[in-house]
A and B are shown apart, each in its own frame.
Chain A
């Protein structure tokens, strides 16, 4: 059992077949956007990075962008560079070639400017689109699926309805041999002991405690007496009193499986099962990190109503309450508020798993239909 997906040369399976046009540096974002206007089917990936950063951020940006290109939802990639930037199109392409998918580069200073580069890029991307159209879906197993989990714009019901529902789906996928990424380190603060209890080894328990305690220290240093309230005013208005309460409601998304691995931001898992990724709680940074790690589908719960999606992976939006589902039906895929009206967790979880199956085989999510393509790379240092 499994789903029909796009089998990539590296053996991984895509649920989408995107042709990506990506900038290696923000200076050429205009070229990427021009290609996307000419060819609306391509997925443009632009960002504010690629130059003027410390080494740590160059490394993060490079591995994240390369990881996004390697994501199995991506069929082929055209990387546009400038020429004098720190993160070169060529070195980025080298990191992607190992995946076996087609990668091409264009450098604006070599091509003789924006317009000439755009014209050539449109030609290359159009050929990539033609090739992508001829690819067919093949049987893939659930063990090929990596689910990224996210909660954003939470309310007190996120941890009561939507997150436990996602936890049930996470447990199902782990049971099928698949992989689930639980992210948002900030939102593990106060709940790290619960995750450490579920670590698959004492070493991983230590890693979890070290990771979350380092984040706790960082938050305390940055926010001082406000550290307990490192949640948005909307969260507090929604009924969550502190970060511990929010964290417990957040980590419920990961279900009840053992934690197999702790990953740095944007790095692909080497183990199946439930893994933890070190990301900020801020939604778009977290989605980007999990997609760079190879997540093909994201489950995103929201209580206040985040419409955010991701350009390269379908994001299934799960409303924690029926009011939100009805108010923002154009943005929400699932109404977890029905759990308060007599629908059983088992029935709701079965419906969610069926939806994951349909989305894996091509059914567009609301965020995809709305082109809510949000992407941000989590950097750690200053700009120079």
Chain B
């Protein structure tokens, strides 16, 4: 399978879908990861690579970009519906 996602920094717990990933489709292109999308990930959007607890940090570029507004499961779409800024 060709790459469908890209993790920018090795400490990131999300990756960017480089094309739309269907629910149930394997996440390809990240070494050592065995994970399927649990819902549709729109192209260019983020997919969780690991579980994130409520208020847990979401990391991209090796930096914290926000906190989980609700618990996030691996393979879930991460966007404005479940990610909040600055601990608020």
Q: Which residues of A contact B (CB under 8 A)?
A: 155-157, 159-160, 190-191, 194, 228-229, 236, 238-239, 241-245, 248-249, 252, 303, 321, 340
Contacts and interface: CB of A to CB of B under 8 A. Distances in A.
A239 B65 contact: no
Contacts of B45: 156, 239
26 contacts: A156-B16, A156-B45, A156-B46, A157-B16, A157-B18, A159-B61, A160-B8, A190-B65, A228-B84, A228-B86, A238-B44, A239-B17, A239-B45, A239-B79, A241-B46, A241-B66, A242-B80, A242-B84, A243-B85, A245-B60, A245-B65, A252-B61, A303-B44, A340-B3, A340-B6, A340-B18
A241 B44 contact: no
A174 B50 CA distance: 37
A244 B42 contact: no
Place the interface of chain B in its size category: 20 to 34
Contacts, number: 66
A119 B35 CA distance: 72
Interface in B66-88: 66, 78-80, 83-86, 88
Contact of B61 (A241, A242, A249): A249
Contacts of B39: none
A242 B66 contact: yes
Contacts of B88: 228
B86 A244 contact: yes
Given A244-B85, A245-B66, 4 more contacts: A155-B44, A156-B16, A239-B17, A248-B60
Contacts of A238: 44
Contacts of B60: 245, 248
